[in-house]
Amino acid sequence: MLFSANIGFLYTDLPLPDRIRAAKRAGFDAVECHFPYDVPVAEMRAALDETGLPMLGLNTVPGNPAAGDFGLAALPDRAEEAAAAVRQAVEYGAAMGAANVHVMAGRTDGGAAAEQAYRATLGLACDLAAEKGMTVLIEPINRRDVAGYHLAHVEQAAETIAALGRDNLRIMFDCYHTQIMQGDLIRRFQTHLPLVGHVQIAAVPDRGEPDGGEICFERLLAAFATAGWKAPVGAEYKPRGGDTEVGLGWLAPLRAALT
Ligand SMILES: O=C(O)C(=O)[C@@H](O)CO
Ligand SMILES: [Mg+2]
With pLDDT > 90 as the criterion, what percentage of the chain qualifies? 100
pLDDT recorded at residue 235: 98
pLDDT recorded at residue 3: 98
pLDDT recorded at residue 201: 98
Around ligand 1, the residues with Cβ closer than 6 Å are 34, 59, 102, 139, 141, 174, 177, 200, 236
Q: How far from 252 is each of 166, 257, 259, CA to CA, in Å?
A: 37, 9, 11
Return mean pLDDT, the chain: 98
Fold adopted by 3-257: TIM Barrel (3.20.20)
- Cβ-based neighbour number of residue 229 at 10 Å: 18
Residue 61 binned pLDDT confidence (cut-offs 50, 70, 90) = very high
Distance CA 11, CA 7 (A): 6
pLDDT recorded at residue 209: 98
pLDDT recorded at residue 192: 98
Distance CA 227, CA 62 (A): 33
Q: Ligand 1 test: best mutation among 61, 104, 139, 175, most atoms within 8 Å of CB? A: 139
pLDDT recorded at residue 250: 98
Instruction: Clarify whether 91 is annotated catalytic.
Output: no
pLDDT recorded at residue 112: 98
- Cβ-based neighbour number of residue 113 at 10 Å: 13
Q: What is the pTM for the complete model shown?
A: 0.97
pLDDT recorded at residue 90: 98
Mean pLDDT of 179-206: 98
Residue nearest to atom 6 of ligand 1 (CA): 34
pLDDT digits (tens, 9 = 90+) for 141-150: 999 999 999 9
Q: How far from 94 is each of 9, 75, 89, 101, 133, CA to CA, in Å?
A: 22, 25, 8, 9, 8
Q: How far from 45 is each of 82, 98, 246, CA to CA, in Å?
A: 25, 10, 27
- Do residues 181 and 152 lie in contact, with contact meaning Cβ atoms separated by under 8 Å? yes
Q: Which atom of ligand 1 is nearest to the CA of 34?
A: 7
What ipTM goes with this model? 0.94
Residue 73 binned pLDDT confidence (cut-offs 50, 70, 90) = very high
pLDDT recorded at residue 241: 94
- Do residues 239 and 11 lie in contact, with contact meaning Cβ atoms separated by under 8 Å? no
Q: Which atom of ligand 1 is nearest to the CA of 141?
A: 3
Mean pLDDT of 196-205: 98
Residue 36 Cα to ligand 1 middle (Å): 14
pLDDT recorded at residue 77: 97
Q: How far from 151 is each of 55, 72, 206, 259, CA to CA, in Å?
A: 24, 12, 21, 34
Q: Ligand 1 test: best mutation among 102, 145, 171, 176, most atoms within 8 Å of CB? A: 102
Q: Ligand 1 test: best mutation among 149, 172, 173, 181, most atoms within 8 Å of CB? A: 172
Instruction: Clarify whether 236 is annotated catalytic.
Output: yes
pLDDT digits (tens, 9 = 90+) for 103-128: 999 999 999 999 999 999 999 999 99
Q: Which atom of ligand 1 is nearest to the CA of 139?
A: 5
